[in-house]
Chain A
Amino acid sequence: MKRIGLFLGCNIPFNRPDVEYSLRFLLNALDVEIVEMEGAACCPAYGTMPSLGIFEWAVASAWNLSIAEEKGVDMITGCGSCYGVQNEANYYMKKHPDIKKKVDEVLAKVGRKYNGNVKVWNVTNFLYEQIGLDTLKQKAKYSLNGLKCGIQTGCHNLWPSRAFPANEDNVFAPKRMREICEALGGVAPHYSTITDCCGMGALRSNAPEKSLALFKKKLDTIKAELDPDVNVIGCSSCLMQFDAGQSLLIEQKKINYKIPALHIAQLVAIALGAEVEKATALATIPLNGVITKIKGGN
């Protein structure tokens, strides 16, 4: 039986725990043993330790990685930042032995060590490479019934590609999430701004209006080019922009349409038979139409 460390991060357990429920459900349903990352902290977010120094960044990530290594597992995360930050920390520690040495010294002070053997997976790459589309198809309880999905991979899941253990063939025209949706019976066409930033993150914290304007531009393009039933998101931060951020745009009367949003983990979990109530508990844009379609409506 496969085992994996479930790295939660911050946004998923505190803002979108429905994604945490979905992650737990889908790993169970796919016969993957979840190893709890007891004591794991923030990845740490780009605006915190990484903004203080490369060593600061590396040592804070190494704390988490050492927990996984002790338990003998790789990690999976549903958050783009957690994926990017920790993979980059791994990359820096391999590239700069002097930083790794300093990290080792500080970890030793609290009786821990990290040998550099942990890979960090995102949901998409884990499903694509470790589970496989065929298995996913076999285990699905519900077909997506032609559900039209607009794909948002999230920047941190694509770049910088040299730091990642697994990636798309073309990081400027990602296909893996599209293929997962299609394997489950949906349609997920390419669109011209598929790799554009949604505006969530530091921009949203420091210049919220500009962030939402950037998001609106992307959403308008999705509406015009695809008009999807649902946006399927690879990153929990993007999910918050696509769901709660979109609700803000509606409230401010800046858009006059609604496109529901699901994390890829939520969509897959629902197809595998998860409890919809729990799997979508925190969504602000109603998902009724999407669920009806998946659960066999027309």
Chain B
Amino acid sequence: MSKHHFKEYSPHHPDVITSMEFERILSATGPTGGELKRPSDGTKPKTIAMISCVGSRDERYHRYCSKVCCMYMLKHARILKEKYPDIKIFLFFIDVRTAGKDFEEFYVYTKELGAKIIRGGRVSAVDVKPDGKLRVRGFDVDLCSPVEVSVDLVVLATAIEPPDGVEELGSMFTATCGREGFLREVHTKLYPVETQARGVFIAGCVQGPKDIPESIAQARAAAAATAALVIPGKIRFEAVISEVDRDKCSSCGVCVPLCPYTAIRIVEYKGKEKAYIEPALCAGCGVCASACPSRAITFHGFTTEQIMAQIDALTEA
């Protein structure tokens, strides 16, 4: 997410940067060759403030927690403190979210290295001082007081966002996006990598903010699910699916846009255009069968005769 949304953080100033930009500055293959330099004048910052939840947990941008920022802020602080022990680092958190194996230990270790942790604590203002320093103002719930600190560099942990065009991508194969714009899984617990489109699986940040181990675990699950489909060399259909009696079909086309699985298309049959349902895609919902004005679509297991017989049986009783 761009820093320019956050006017209260003086985004026009070159020394207010995002964590992604800071990651590049720390990288040996980055623009500074891994040397710590601040963008405005190329000097090495002596004090740095890092601000969490910029655009996350925020109704104006994204309600969700971006999940990985707490950890990478600690990682950045750790790298800096190991390389430059004299540098002063202030980390402003709302809550420190380091759940999971080894993560809390990482947090404690970074504190031991001397990084200063401020909690409860979303920063309210970053102001530019005439000497070029940036004054950061936050709240420290542990001191029960507003706090301020002048620093040389401000790093904003901006929110993870769904990539551009993900909605269009999803619509190409009827995978839908949730309210926040990420592709949606079929079931959070039971089908975490499956989408509405059969045979299309998702993994990584396209489905929601997540870290590298989780992305890899999900990717391997998606790969396994794909392999399970592909390796047998044949696809098993659902038993209960719909089928078109093409001699009865009037080619009106009503069924085509109704199908939630894009299983129906118009194809040539005996020289005429007729509806055809792809058995591999049909999920057996029955929408087309109930909509067909010519009663040309049979929903196996629920044929007209079977349904009429059921009604007769019920009304007799």
User: Per the CB under 8 Å rule, do A and B touch in the complex?
Assistant: yes
Residues in chain A within 8 A of chain B (CB atoms): 170-173, 190-193, 195, 225
B274 within 8 A of A: no
- Whether the Cβ atoms of A192 and B7 lie closer than 8 Å is no
Residue B7 contacts which of A171, A190, A225 (CB distance < 8 angstroms)? A171
Contacts of A192 in B (CB 8 A): 127-130, 135
Q: Other than A190-B128, A192-B129, A192-B130, give 13 A-B pairs with Cβ distance below 8 A.
A: A170-B7, A171-B7, A172-B7, A172-B8, A172-B10, A172-B125, A173-B7, A191-B130, A192-B127, A192-B128, A192-B135, A193-B127, A225-B130
Cα separation A255 to B158 with both chains bound (whole Å)? 42
A191: chain B residues within 8 A (beta carbon):
130
Contact with A along B113-150 (1 / 0, CB 8 A): 00000000000010111100001000000000000000
Distance between A271 CB and nearest chain B CB, rounded to angstroms = 27
Shortest Cβ distance from residue B5 to the other chain A in the assembled complex, whole angstroms: 12
Report the Cα distance A191→B135, complex, angstroms.
Answer: 11
Residues of chain B lying within 8 A (CB to CB) of residue A171: 7
Shortest Cβ distance from B145 into chain A, in angstroms?
14
Does A225 contact B129, Cβ atoms closer than 8 Å? yes
Which chain B residues (1-45) contact chain A, with CB distance < 8 Å? Answer: 7-8, 10
The CA of A225 and the CA of B8, in the complex, are separated in Å by 20
Flag if A173 contacts B10 (CB, 8 Å): yes
Closest-by-CB residue of A relative to B150 is: A192
- Complex contacts, B130 vs chain A, CB 8 Å: 191-192, 225
Chain A residue nearest in CB terms to B129: A192
CA distance A173 to B8 in the complex (A): 8
Closest to B131 in A: A225
Please name the 7 residue pairs, one residue from A and one from B, whose CB atoms are nearest each other, closest first.
Answer: A192-B127, A192-B129, A172-B8, A170-B7, A225-B130, A172-B7, A192-B135
Q: B129 contacts which chain A residues (CB < 8 A)?
A: 192, 225
Q: Shortest Cβ distance from B26 into chain A, in angstroms?
A: 28
CB contacts (< 8 Å) of B127 on chain A: these are 192-193
A169 nearest CB neighbor, chain B only: B7
Complex-state Cα separation, A190 to B128, whole angstroms: 9
When C-beta atoms are compared, the residue in chain B nearest to A190 turns out to be: B128
Alpha-carbon gap, A193 to B127, bound state (A): 7
CA distance A100 to B8 in the complex (A): 34
B176-192 at interface with A (beta carbon < 8 Å): none
Q: How far is the CA of A190 from the CA of B135 in the complex (A)?
A: 14
Residues on B with beta carbons closer than 8 Å to the beta carbon of A173 = 7, 10
Please name the residue on chain B nearest to A168 by beta carbon.
B7
Query: Cβ of B8: which chain A residues have Cβ within 8 Å of it?
Result: 172
C-alpha spacing A225/B7, complex, angstroms: 22
Question: Chain B residue with minimal CB distance to A172?
Answer: B8
- In the docked arrangement, what's the CA distance between A193 and B130, Å? 11
Q: How many angstroms between the C-alpha atoms of A170 and B125 in the bound complex?
A: 13
Instruction: Kindly list chain A residues whose C-beta atoms are within 8 Å of the C-beta of B135.
Output: 192
A192 to B128, CA, bound (A): 6
* Chain A residues, Cβ within 8 Å of B10: 172-173
Most A Cβ at <10 Å: residue of B125, B127, B130: B127
**Closest chain B residue to A224 by CB distance?**
B130
Q: Return B130 CB to nearest CB of chain A, in Å.
A: 5
Measured between alpha carbons, how far is A225 from B10 in the docked complex, in Å? 18
Contacts of A170 in B (CB 8 A): 7
What CA separation (Å) do A255 and B217 show in the bound complex? 64
Contacts of B128 in A (CB 8 A): 190, 192
CA distance in complex: A128, B7 (Å):
22
B142 to chain A, nearest CB (A): 23
| Bound complex: CA A211 to CA B30 (Å) | 49
The complex places the Cα of A36 from the Cα of B128 at a distance, in Å, of 43
CA separation between A155 and B135, bound complex, in Å? 20
A167 to nearest B CB, angstroms?
Answer: 12
Q: How far is the CA of A152 from the CA of B7 in the complex (A)?
A: 19
Q: Kindly state the separation between the CA atoms of A191 and B129 in the bound complex, as whole angstroms.
A: 7
CB distance from A82 to the nearest CB of B (A): 26
The smallest beta-carbon distance between A247 and chain B, in angstroms, is 27
The 13 sampled A-B contact pairs (Cβ below 8 Å) are: A170-B7, A171-B7, A172-B8, A172-B125, A173-B10, A190-B128, A191-B130, A192-B127, A192-B128, A192-B129, A192-B130, A195-B125, A225-B130
Digitize B65-91: 1 where CB-to-A-CB distance is under 8 Å, 0 elsewhere: 000000000000000000000000000
Alpha-carbon distance A12/B128, docked complex (angstroms): 33
Q: Which residue of the partner chain B has the closest CB to A221?
A: B129
CA distance in complex: A10, B314 (Å):
81
Interface centre among A172, A173, A190 (most CB of B within 10 A): A172
Complex CA gap A190/B7 in Å reads 15
Bound Cα distance A139, B10 (Å):
35
Alpha-carbon distance A172/B129, docked complex (angstroms): 14
* Bound-complex Cα distance A171 to B125 (A): 12
Shortest CB-to-CB span from A269 to chain B, Å, is 30
A172 to chain B, nearest CB (A): 5
CB distance from B138 to the nearest CB of A (A): 15
Residue numbers in B under 8 Å from A190 (CB-CB): 128
Tell me the minimal C-beta distance from B94 to chain A in angstroms.
20
